[in-house]
C-alpha cells in the first residue's frame, strides 16, 4: 500500500499553491471547480510523484492560534536534499518571512530537519535524504 495523496483545506487557494510551487517545486494541475458544492481544488505533484491536494470553499477561514487542531494530521514532511539543502531552504524561507519554528537540527530519532509554517500555519518539515530506519 501507499498513500495516494494528502489534502489541506485553505482559505486562500492561490496563495498556498504558489507557496508549494515556489519552495518545493510542486506542479499544479488544472484547477477543479464544482459550482454546485462551491468547491475548488488543485492537485500538486512533486518530483517524487507524491501529491498534495489543496481545497477551498468560499467563506472558509482559519486562525492557527484559535483553530489549530489537537488531533489529526500534525505536519507534512518533505525531503529537500541533504543537510545543506535543509539549512539553505530554511534560511531562504525565514528571509522571505515564513516562520521557522524549529531547527535546523538533528532530532533524537536521527532526522535532520527544520520545521516551517506555510501561509496557513500548517507545519512543514524540511528533511534531509537520510531517513532513519525503524
* Element containing residue 34 per DSSP (H, E): strand 32-34
Q: What is the pTM of this model?
A: 0.78
Tens-place pLDDT, residues 95-126 = 999 999 999 999 877 889 999 999 998 899 99
Dihedral Cα 41, 52, 5, 116, nearest 10 deg: -140
Tell me which of 31-40, 59-68, 74-83 is least confident: 59-68
C-beta separation of 123 from 102 below 8 A: no
CATH fold of 1-58 reads 2,3-Dihydroxybiphenyl 1,2-Dioxygenase; domain 1 (3.10.180)
Q: Say whether pLDDT at 128 is over 80.
A: yes
CATH fold of 75-134 reads 2,3-Dihydroxybiphenyl 1,2-Dioxygenase; domain 1 (3.10.180)
Tens-place pLDDT, residues 31-45 = 999 888 888 999 999
* CA dist 21 → 15, 47, 68 (Å): 10, 11, 24
Amino acid at each position: 500500500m501507499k498513500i495516494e495523496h494528502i489534502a489541506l483545506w485553505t482559505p486562500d487557494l492561490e496563495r498556498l499553491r504558489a507557496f508549494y510551487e515556489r519552495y518545493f517545486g510542486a506542479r499544479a494541475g488544472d484547477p477543479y471547480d464544482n459550482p454546485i458544492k462551491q468547491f475548488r481544488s488543485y492537485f500538486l505533484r512533486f518530483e517524487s510523484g507524491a501529491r498534495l491536494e489543496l481545497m477551498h470553499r468560499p467563506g472558509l477561514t482559519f486562525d492557527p492560534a484559535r483553530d489549530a487542531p489537537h488531533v489529526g494530521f500534525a505536519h507534512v514532511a518533505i525531503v529537500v536534499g541533504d543537510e545543506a539543502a535543509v539549512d539553505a531552504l530554511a534560511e531562504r524561507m525565514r528571509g522571505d518571512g515564513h516562520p521557522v519554528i524549529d531547527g535546523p537540527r538533528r532530532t533524537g530519532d536521527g532526522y535532520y530537519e527544520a520545521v516551517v509554517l506555510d501561509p496557513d500555519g500548517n507545519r512543514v518539515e524540511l528533511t534531509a535524504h537520510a531517513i532513519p530506519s525503524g
